[in-house]
């Protein structure tokens, strides 16, 4: 078996993911049902460890129960029960505080969309006369979660139906897990430099400036304060990975990788790889095509640096997330 095959078949770090309990099939919704999301339970499940949270259940609301809604009171949006008009905002937000120690160890979180407790984006907000006044609300728990853990990759279930957003989220949680694994070990400055080196193409595809900033922090790791280095690198790395990539930056990263092996390829293989990169750039082929060729040619002709790039396998292949033209 070639070196690249060994590299890509090794056991991957398992991200720790939080999720709204109903998305994992737990019957905790207001009507006594669930909202099982098959991508999480049938595809992602085998590669991650779950922490499930239902803020509404954890504050003692039973099932079935009266619905909740966001209501504008003054300048604040409050979570109000349609049953007795009680304000449950602080209780719901407080679940994030109560479980902060556990949530701080996560690599990502999937929230139930359209939920007054867990919805992340574009929730309807009503006035006291039940008239809609806004469509930019955020659930109480979701708002507090993102406030407490601003670097945590967080996404809504509904948005994960978009192939590009799904791929981006999964890429981020595996990157976050690798970084967590580094910090949990007795890391040395050279380990951080090695981590930075392995993530070069992945960072370049998201944010060239982010790649440069993380590189500067890693280079100073031997002389700077250890905890300060960890905080600064985590912030810069997560910010870079949260930056939406695009075809141009992907193509540049692919061209950079090609530059490492191009001289060792014959004319036919060189042409095929360059054509695949251009086909991807012009939306005629998915990202998986040039990446597969880089992995194949790199196995025989590429340097160890290329074989170790996380960009070539940012998450398990079986998730099949780079095959859509939208990515």
Q: What is the mean pLDDT of residues 46-55?
A: 97
On the question of pLDDT at 217 being above 80, the answer is: yes
On the question of pLDDT at 301 being above 70, the answer is: no
CA atoms 309, 290, 247, 113: torsion sign: negative
Determine the Cα–Cα distance for residues 70 and 155; give it in Å rounded to an integer: 20
pLDDT confidence of residue 135: 86
pLDDT per residue as tens digits for the range 228-280: 999 999 999 999 999 999 999 999 999 999 998 988 899 999 999 999 999 99
Show the 3-state SS of 250-314. HHHHHHHHHHHHHHHCCHHHHHHHHHHHHHHHCCCCCCHHHHHHHHHHHHHHCCHHHHCCHHHCC
Q: What is the mean pLDDT of residues 45-66?
A: 95
Determine the Cα–Cα distance for residues 228 and 101; give it in Å rounded to an integer: 20
On the question of pLDDT at 3 being above 80, the answer is: no
Ranges 107-121, 202-216, 295-309: which has the least confidence: 295-309
pLDDT confidence of residue 4: 41
Band of the pLDDT at 75, cuts 50, 70, 90? Answer: confident
Q: What is the mean pLDDT of residues 111-138?
A: 93
Strands 49-53 and 123-126: unpaired
């Amino acid at each position: 078996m070639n070196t690249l095959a060994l590299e890509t078949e090794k056991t991957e770090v398992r991200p720790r993911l939080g999720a709204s309990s109903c998305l994992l099939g737990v019957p905790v919704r207001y009507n006594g049902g669930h909202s099982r999301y098959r991508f999480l339970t049938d595809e992602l499940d085998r590669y991650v460890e779950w922490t499930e949270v239902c803020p509404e259940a954890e504050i003692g609301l039973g099932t079935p129960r009266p619905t909740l809604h966001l209501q504008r009171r003054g300048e604040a949006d409050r979570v109000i029960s349609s049953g007795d008009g009680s304000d449950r905002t602080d209780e719901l937000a407080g679940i994030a505080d109560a479980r902060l120690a556990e949530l701080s160890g996560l690599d990502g979180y999937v929230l139930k969309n359209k939920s007054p407790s867990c919805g992340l984006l574009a929730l309807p907000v009503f006035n006291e006369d039940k008239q809609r006044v806004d469509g930019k609300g955020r659930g109480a728990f979701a708002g507090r979660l993102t406030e407490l853990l601003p670097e945590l990759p967080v996404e809504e279930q509904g948005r994960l139906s978009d192939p590009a957003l799904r791929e981006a989220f999964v890429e981020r949680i595996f990157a976050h897990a690798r970084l967590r694994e580094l910090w949990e070990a007795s890391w040395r400055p050279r380990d951080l430099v090695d981590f930075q080196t392995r993530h070069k193409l992945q960072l370049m595809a998201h944010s060239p400036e982010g790649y440069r900033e993380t590189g500067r922090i890693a280079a100073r790791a031997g002389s700077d304060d250890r905890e300060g280095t960890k905080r600064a690198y985590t912030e810069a790395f997560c910010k870079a990975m949260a930056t939406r990539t695009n075809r141009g930056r992907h193509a540049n990263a692919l061209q950079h990788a090609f530059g490492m092996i191009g001289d060792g390829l014959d004319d036919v293989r060189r042409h095929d790889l360059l054509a695949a990169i251009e086909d991807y750039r012009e939306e005629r082929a998915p990202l998986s095509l040039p990446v597969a060729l880089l992995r194949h040619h790199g196995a025989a002709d590429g340097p160890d640096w290329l074989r170790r790039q996380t960009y070539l396998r940012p998450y398990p292949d079986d998730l099949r997330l780079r095959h859509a033209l939208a990515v």
